[in-house]
């Protein structure tokens, strides 16, 4: 099947490389399942005793950042993949060899417009960190502030764009050849992958994400988001404040740094729940490598290239999901599942809801266990979930695992109950209602602007359809209603502006 690919000359070498890697890791079985090979060469385990899941993960890592990103997207699809695949794909990382700074210097000087020695008071030529897409170096500004430079690896963009072109063709073949693979909606997943890749290739997106999250938590001193230095930042270079802290991997390490693990767990839960349920914008991958704990029981949010967004409707649905479990209401839960899955019949969802309520309803809500059972039930019923919803679940389960590791008695369900009060307060605040009132007022104003035209059209319609004449009294009555609408619209607009 792969021989039918129409590959541009510039992409042929990359395709050959992809096939060599797949062959070396013995992925013939997987390619056959996807309809990409007519042979079943290879066994479920290779000569080293590695499972198919492990070999797939290793192959994705070797193929580079585009395929790592594809694997990370697949890791969110527990509604499609069994647990052993999800567990393996969740360990994907984009490690890469460290480049000598002199290989990066021309690109850094082009981005800065000058040598780094002139732009900064000091610059560390030794890499502070390295990943498949970028390398990080530390520096000091002339005012004494410490910063880090995230430098995009040279040549990474054309390589990733070639990968996207090849994967697009593979997705078309897979959809046509494999009924099993069609459940994954490969073309839709490719669009998600392309959007994620192109967004992360532009480092200014990460900078804007940081600015947005910092604004969201401007009133919460417990949250630290590194400031972006835009005068030095561009598409391929991001300069931000350096933050020193302790990764939330070990309670003992936190205590040694004078940080209370229980307090950090409470802060971490508040931050994630506020992002998802109130702000509607959240860190989509809050694993220990992207979080730092600071003195004073504060948390810094790092690596903000991937941000999830939650619509007001989705927030309400998620609240209903949690409330239906807390109140042991399978009917309400089935309604939520129906809206999420788009299933043709409510009956299988009612059965699934009853099973979920029987297992998790009424008591302490262990979110990770709920999500595992929930997605397993959806998988059994052949139903798929919206990607944005799965990203929310993944973020919440990830932070639940992080916080439980440093504070075994941590209870996310208690944190959710506490968050419900903040959600209610946020919805009652003037900041919540001001834009709603303003939008409503503008709609009334537009109605007022259209009123003369609508009135003339109504008069002509009535004259054409009824032998009864239009009386002056009727016109006066209609004009009073229109005038009242204009007055109400103006009043609503005034109220909205005052509240604002």
At 375, the pLDDT band (50, 70, 90 cuts) reads confident
Q: How far apart are CA 156 and CA 153, in angstroms?
A: 6
**By mean pLDDT, which of 111-125, 170-184, 297-311 is the weakest?**
170-184
Instruction: Give the pLDDT score at 368.
Output: 78
Task: Report how many domains make up the chain.
Answer: 4
Strands 298-301 and 223-224: parallel
Structural domain boundaries enclosing 478: 430-499
**Can you state the angle between helices 65-74 and 156-177, rounded to 10 degrees?**
40
Q: pLDDT at residue 297 above 90?
A: yes
Instruction: Check: CB of residue 104 under 8 Å from CB of residue 393.
Output: no
Q: Average pLDDT over the chain, rounded to whole? A: 81
| Predicted confidence (pLDDT) per residue in 303-329, tens digit | 998 888 888 888 888 888 888 888 888
Q: Which residue has the tokens 């936190």?
A: 254
In a domain, 286, yes or no: no
What is the end-to-end Cα distance of the chain in Å, rounded?
61
In a domain, 256, yes or no: no
Q: Which residue has the tokens 């981005």?
A: 111
Q: Output DSSP code: residue 288.
A: G
The answer to whether residues 50 and 103 belong to one domain is no
Among residues 211, 208, 204, the alpha carbon closest in space to that of 233 is found at 204
| Residues classed as catalytic | 285
The answer to whether residues 89 and 181 belong to one domain is yes
Q: In 10 A of CB 311, how many CB atoms?
A: 10
In a domain, 258, yes or no: no
| Predicted confidence (pLDDT) per residue in 413-457, tens digit | 777 777 766 666 666 656 655 565 666 566 666 666 666 676 666
The domain that contains 113 carries what CATH number?
Answer: 3.30.200.20
The answer to whether residues 435 and 470 belong to one domain is yes
- By residue count, the chain amounts to 500
Mean pLDDT in residue range 356-363: 83
The answer to whether residues 9 and 124 belong to one domain is no
Report how many helices (DSSP H) and strands (DSSP E) the chain contains, helices first: 21, 10
pTM over 0.85: no
In a domain, 128, yes or no: yes
Q: Among 199, 227, 257, give the residue marking a domain's end.
A: 199
Q: pLDDT at residue 475 above 90?
A: no
In a domain, 48, yes or no: yes
The answer to whether residues 11 and 141 belong to one domain is no
Instruction: Give the pLDDT score at 42.
Output: 47
Q: Among 409, 428, 447, give the residue marking a domain's end.
A: 428
In a domain, 297, yes or no: no
Classify 416 as helix, strand or coil. Answer: helix
Instruction: Check: CB of residue 299 under 8 Å from CB of residue 224.
Output: yes
Please classify residue 321 by burial: count the beta carbons closer than 10 Å to its beta carbon, then call 0-12 exposed, 13-18 middle and 19+ buried: buried
The answer to whether residues 377 and 411 belong to one domain is yes
The answer to whether residues 83 and 101 belong to one domain is no
Mean pLDDT in residue range 379-404: 82
Structure tokens at 118: 């002139």
At 1, the pLDDT band (50, 70, 90 cuts) reads very low
């Amino acid at each position: 099947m792969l021989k039918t690919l129409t590959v541009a000359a510039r992409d042929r070498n990359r395709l050959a490389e992809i096939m060599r890697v797949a062959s070396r890791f013995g992925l013939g079985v997987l390619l056959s399942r996807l309809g990409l090979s007519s042979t079943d060469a290879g066994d479920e385990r290779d000569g080293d005793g590695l499972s198919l899941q492990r070999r797939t993960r290793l192959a994705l890592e070797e193929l580079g950042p585009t395929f790592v990103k594809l694997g990370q997207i697949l890791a969110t699809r527990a509604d499609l993949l069994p647990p052993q695949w999800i567990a393996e794909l969740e360990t994907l990382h984009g490690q890469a060899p460290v480049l000598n700074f002199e290989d990066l210097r021309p690109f850094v000087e082009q981005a800065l417009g000058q040598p780094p020695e002139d732009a900064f008071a000091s610059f560390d030529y030794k890499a502070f960190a390295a990943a498949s897409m970028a390398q990080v170096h530390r520096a000091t500004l002339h005012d004494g502030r410490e910063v880090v430079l995230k430098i995009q690896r040279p040549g990474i963009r054309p390589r990733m764009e070639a990968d996207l072109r090849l994967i697009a063709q593979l997705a078309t073949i897979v959809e046509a050849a494999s009924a099993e693979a069609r459940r994954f909606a490969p073309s839709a997943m490719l669009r998600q992958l392309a959007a994620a890749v192109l967004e992360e290739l532009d480092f200014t997106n990460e900078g804007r994400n940081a600015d947005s999250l910092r604004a969201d938590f401007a009133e919460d001193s417990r949250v630290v988001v590194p400031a972006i230095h835009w005068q030095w930042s561009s598409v391929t270079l991001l300069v931000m404040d350096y933050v020193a802290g302790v990764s939330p991997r070990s309670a003992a390490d936190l205590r040694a740094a004078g940080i209370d693990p229980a307090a950090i767990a409470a802060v971490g839960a508040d931050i994630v729940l506020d992002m998802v349920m109130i702000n509607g914008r959240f860190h989509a991958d809050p694993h220990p490598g992207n979080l730092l704990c600071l003195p004073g029981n504060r948390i810094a949010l790092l690596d903000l290239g991937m941000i999830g967004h939650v619509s007001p409707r989705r927030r309400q649905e998620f609240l209903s999901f949690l409330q239906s479990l807390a109140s042991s209401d399978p009917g309400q839960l089935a309604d939520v599942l129906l809206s999420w899955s788009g299933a043709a019949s409510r009956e299988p969802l009612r059965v699934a809801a009853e099973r979920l309520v029987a297992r998790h309803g009424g008591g302490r809500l262990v979110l990770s266990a709920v999500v595992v059972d929930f997605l397993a039930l959806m998988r059994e019923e052949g139903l798929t979930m919206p990607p944005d919803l799965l990203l929310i679940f993944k973020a919440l389960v990830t932070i639940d695992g992080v916080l439980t590791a440093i504070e075994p008695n941590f209870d996310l369900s208690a944190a959710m109950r506490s968050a419900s009060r903040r959600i209610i307060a946020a919805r009652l605040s003037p900041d919540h209602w001001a834009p709603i009132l303003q939008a409503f007022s503008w709609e009334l104003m537009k109605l007022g602007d259209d009123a003369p035209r609508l009135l003339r059209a109504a008069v002509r319609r009535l004259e054409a359809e009824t032998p009864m004449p239009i009386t002056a009294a009727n016109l006066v009555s209609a004009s009073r209603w229109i005038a009242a609408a204009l007055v109400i619209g103006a009043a609503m607009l005034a109220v909205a502006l005052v509240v604002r």
